[in-house]
Amino acid sequence: MAKKQRRIIGAVGARPNFIKIAPIVEELRKHKEVEFVLVHTGQHYDYELSRSFFIDLNIPEPKIHLDVGSGSHAEQTGHIMIRFERVLLEQHPDLVVVVGDVNSTLACALAARKLHTPIAHIEAGLRSFDWRMPEEINRLLTDAISDYLFVTEESGESNLLREGISREKIFLVGNVMIDTLLKQRDRISQSPIISKLRLLPSEYAVLTLHRPENVDVEETFEGILSGLSELRKHIKIVYPIHPRARKRIDEFRLGTRFPFLNGEERFLVMNPISYLHFLKLVSESRFVLTDSGGIQEETTVLEVPCLTLRRNTERPVTVTEGTNTVVDTDPKRILEESMRILDGHEKAGSIPKLWDGGAAGRIVDVLLDCRRQ
């Protein structure tokens, strides 16, 4: 008798999700006994933050779109739960795969758990220990209700065990975001973005800034910009601006206090760009300033110095082994650490364990192991 085909739903909704799900999709394509249904919640609906990633990463168009859009955390999470529950009732999946730590991650996991559908959480166990971060709440709650917890670094294992998660649910597999980066490295190198922007390698820094605790608090955002105002005198800064940050700049009238935000040669503000173009920009930069989690990992593998504009990081291996330094949002510290790099004292890093491009294969091996079904 032929084995019954297994149906797996993968839920994505924001830029980091697309990058992380791509190698899982590719691995599952090798297994005819699996029907994979990709669901896009619509949490990120800007073209460059959403659809362009499917094109760049060769991810098939999602079979189901929830079209949730923006809203408060409660509104967004609630709308996703309601719409994803309907999908689960129609599709009857054997497993739901969620990735990362965004609202879509938690909402889809909660809906699945309520219907007793097994859950696999990719990138489990990461902890900043900062409850101000909505992502920290999403991570903790998703891990608590998941059946398979796939971790990227050894700190993730330790965190989950300390929280009482059974060891048999935890799998150290490596980093699917790095799977994607390594697979796309040749295409990244071919991006024309550097010449298009008339940049010279190592003569500019890349900035990303979008977290609510940084851009939604006027005093904090203003402090960061004051540090960057001084830094731009020493190196050109390229800022692909997130819609959230652009909105706050207008709302707080920061363009009046920091005229360089309105456009100047030493501080290039540009619209969001695609995955391939962005990583080309990062790979050729002198260093990166960011409050993103994933970029801390990407810069480590690309061997580009990274300054994290936060009090903490949920990815400590990027600091202990990688090229990352956590500098907080103090303008003086931002300038000091940037100048250290410009003076030739950047951090030398190494590649963390299992960040070798094979994480997705290890994940799929676990999920399709008949002994665990």
Q: Which positions are catalytic?
A: 210
DSSP string, 42-73: -S--SGGGTHHHHHHTTPPPPSEE-------H
Q: Are 250 and 335 in contact (CB under 8 A)?
A: no
Q: Are 305 and 323 in contact (CB under 8 A)?
A: yes
**Which DSSP state fits 285?**
S
* Structure tokens, 99: 């990735």
Long-range contacts of 211-218 (CB under 8 A, 24+ apart): 211/133, 211/291, 211/292, 211/310, 212/134, 212/244, 213/132, 213/133, 213/310, 214/291, 214/309, 214/310, 214/329, 215/242, 215/244, 215/245, 215/248, 216/244, 216/248, 218/248, 218/252
> What is residue 290's three-state secondary structure?
strand
